Amino acid sequence: MWSLISPSLDNPMASPIEVLFPDIEDAPFRLAPERRDKLKAIFDEKNIKYSFDREAMRMRFEGADLFGGLGLVYVGVRGLEHFWALCYGAMHAYRAFQANGFQATRLTVDEEGRRVAKLLDWAVAGVKDGDPAEWPNDVPKPEAAPTEMPSRLANELFLGAAGFAVLHEVGHIVQDRRGQFGSFPLLECSQNH
């Protein structure tokens, strides 16, 4: 499903977030396992594929029904990168706060905290200022099926949100009437609502 308009064809530089592409593909189905078959049938009927946008710095999720025969969900890769970093930072911060008895906690007291702070600085600069810098070298990166915390929690949060955003765009493809879908400011949908 990911191969239709592969980012690797357009741009040979791989993104660290690509290891999660198979999980993103499965994420809409995991959100409602009891409706997996029904949703699969909709994906087949509408010929729904993903198209990656590496140019947009902003978060981009956008669904389009092309010619009635191809349903494209456009996904901004840079937005996904920054969003995963924010998920990881949030989970790290929460766990540090918890471990400290829910007292005010300075993240940069240890090496891991300093790496997370660097990751967050990069993500915030990308989201807020449109800084196009690539993923820094010595900071946490996404892993497929991680066994350690906070990567596991970060992936769960990230995949739940990404799956929800994809489902929202599938809604546009299946029944493209504006104003019908709830908006979600963080994972910004590109349609007018």
Interface residues toward Zn ion, by CB under 5 A: 181, 189, 191
The token pair at 82 is 């920054």
List CB contacts of 89: < 8 A, sequence separation 6 or more: 116, 119, 120, 123
CB of 128 to Zn ion, least distance (A): 23
134 versus 176: smaller Cβ distance to Zn ion = 176
Q: With respect to Zn ion, which residue has the nearer C-beta, 94 or 184?
A: 184
- Residue of minimal CB distance from Zn ion? 189
Name the minimum Å distance from CB 73 to Zn ion. Answer: 11
Which CB sits closer to Zn ion, 58 or 114? Answer: 58
CB of 150 to Zn ion, least distance (A): 30
Q: Which is nearer to Zn ion, 21 or 181 (CB)?
A: 181
What pairs with residue 64 in β-bridges?
Answer: 72
- How far, rounded to the nearest angstrom, does the alpha carbon of residue 38 sit from its chain's CA centroid? 23
| Shortest Å distance, C-beta 193 to Zn ion | 6
Q: In what order do the strands lie in the sheet with 70-76?
A: 48-53, 70-76, 61-66
Q: State how far the Cα of 147 lies from the Cα of 103, in Å rounded to an integer.
A: 27
Cα separations in angstroms, 77 against 13, 20, 145, 175: 12, 11, 20, 25
CB of 62 vs Zn ion, minimal distance in Å: 8
Report d(CA 145, CA 93) in Å as an integer.
21
CB closer to Zn ion out of 127 and 187? 187
